[in-house]
């Protein structure tokens, strides 16, 4: 697992049970359950990371590393290209040359879609609106072309309870604000079938078990906007929904353009692996039960 501290990597570790013996890397030392091997290594230069991977003799290498801050990518274009595009390509080349039996699992994003033609199937034209999307789309296209055995999971925006050392996601922000009794505005003109982190992990495990390759959309069960999502969070956690008011995206000017509706068509992953994301209400009830 490259990026053990990521939202995805850290949860994968605690969710895969005994199915896989997981080891991985991150840039800073991290407290991990006993028995998990973690190498502290940067991507550049990649030699120490690559030799640690070789020593581990993995069946799969999952790359969760990315610069996902869309505005940061807009301002730091070369760095974003290096991490989001050049690194996965160099990793794929290393695996092909040095550990050919090992499968690469890479992660794409809904930001490769333009947001005007939802619902998106995997074969839709990639037309990213911002540099983050451009770097990720270039990686997807090059991997599909040059490394057809690679598996590319393409998740939409995810939510879940994050760790202190991770980036906040939409659920964290809403929960924190409502618990503090703080009024918030949420946009009602950005749509998607938001994905619960545990459903992403289930999808990845299902694809890995199926020996899948190529690209697979991964998203949640319901299309909704952020305001509607906020109301579901408030309802599930018994918090005051009146603190949330709707607004449109112009209320939050940002450097990078964002796609308006990247709702994904899930036929491919559902038909091939039986993937069934949970309804948001059910997820909230589970999370609220754990949190209370
Ligand atoms: N989260 C979402 O909603 C979402 C939606 C669609 C697609 N995705 C994709 O899913 C994958 C996993 O996302 P995530 O949210 O789980 O990741 P995340 O929590 O944002 O973690 C990103 C990882 O990348 C590492 N990283 C960032 N910049 C780096 C750099 N310059 N050099 C080396 N490592 C660097 C981070 O290490 P440090 O902590 O040390 O910086 C961290 O391990 C990514 O490919 C992302 O594009 C995520």
Q: Is the pTM of this model over 0.85?
A: yes
CA angle 287, 246, 240 (to 5 degrees): 45
Rounded to an integer, what is the distance from CA 10 to the centroid of its chain? 12
Task: Report pLDDT for 291.
Answer: 72
Going by alpha carbons, the residue nearest to atom 5 of ligand 1 is: 157
Q: Which two tokens stand for residue 209?
A: 């078990």
Best mutation site among 45, 48, 62, 64 for ligand 1 pocket (most ligand atoms within 8 Å of CB):
64
Task: Name the residue among 133, 261, 280, 241 with its Cα closest to residue 189.
Answer: 261
Best mutation site among 9, 66, 126, 201 for ligand 1 pocket (most ligand atoms within 8 Å of CB):
66
Task: Name the residue among 220, 223, 217, 222 with its Cα closest to residue 269.
Answer: 217
Element (H, E) at 104: strand 103-107
Cα–Cα dist 40/268, whole Å: 36
Q: Give the orientation angle of helix 226-237 with respect to helix 170-179, to 10 degrees.
A: 50
Task: Tell which atom from ligand 1 comes closest to the C-alpha of 165.
Answer: 39
Task: Tell which atom from ligand 1 comes closest to the C-alpha of 79.
Answer: 31
Contact 160, 197 (CB under 8 A): yes
- List domains and CATH numbers for the chain: 7-167+193-223+263-278 (3.40.50.720)
Task: Report pLDDT for 17.
Answer: 82
Cα–Cα dist 126/289, whole Å: 39
Contact 25, 4 (CB under 8 A): yes
Element (H, E) at 285: helix 280-291
Task: Report pLDDT for 80.
Answer: 98
The single-letter DSSP state of residue 256 is S
- Per-block mean pLDDT, blocks of 10 residues, the chain (292 long): 97 91 94 87 95 96 98 98 98 98 98 98 98 98 98 98 95 98 98 98 98 98 98 98 97 94 98 98 94 68
Residue 94: CB partners within 8 Å, gap ≥ 6? 46, 50, 53
Residue 184: CB partners within 8 Å, gap ≥ 6? 173, 174, 177, 178, 230, 243, 244, 245
Place of tokens 């050049």: 86
Element (H, E) at 245: strand 244-247
- Residues within a 6 A CB radius of ligand 1: 3, 5-8, 26-28, 42-43, 64-68, 83, 107, 109-110, 155, 157-158, 166-167
């Amino acid at each position: 697992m490259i990026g053990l501290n990521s939202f995805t990597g850290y949860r994968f570790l605690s969710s895969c049970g005994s199915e896989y013996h997981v080891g991985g890397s991150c840039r800073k030392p991290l407290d991990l359950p006993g028995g998990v091997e973690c190498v502290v290594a940067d991507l550049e230069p990649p030699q120490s990371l690559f030799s640690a991977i070789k020593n581990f003799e993995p069946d799969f290498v999952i790359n969760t590393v990315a610069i996902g801050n869309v505005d940061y990518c807009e301002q730091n274009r070369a760095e974003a290209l290096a991490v989001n595009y050049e690194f996965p390509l160099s990793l794929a080349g290393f695996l092909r040359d040095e550990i050919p039996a090992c499968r690469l699992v890479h992660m794409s994003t809904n930001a490769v879609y333009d947001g005007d033609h939802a619902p998106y199937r995997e074969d839709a034209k990639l037309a990213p609106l911002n540099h983050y999307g451009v770097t990720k789309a270039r990686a997807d296209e090059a991997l599909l072309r040059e490394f057809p055995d690679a598996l590319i999971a393409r998740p939409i925006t995810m939510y879940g309870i994050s760790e202190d050392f991770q980036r906040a996601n939409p659920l964290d922000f809403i929960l924190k604000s409502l618990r503090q009794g703080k009024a918030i505005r949420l946009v009602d003109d950005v749509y998607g079938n938001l994905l619960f982190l545990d459903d992403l992990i289930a999808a990845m495990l299902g694809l890995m078990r199926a020996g899948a390759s190529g690209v697979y959309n991964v998203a949640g069960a319901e299309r909704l906007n952020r305001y509607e999502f906020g109301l579901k969070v408030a309802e599930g956690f018994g918090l005051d929904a009146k603190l949330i008011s709707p607004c449109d995206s112009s209320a939050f000017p940002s450097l990078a353009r964002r796609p308006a509706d990247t709702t994904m068509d899930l036929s491919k992953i559902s038909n091939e692996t039986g993937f069934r994301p949970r309804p948001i209400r059910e997820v909230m009830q589970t999370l609220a039960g754990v949190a209370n």
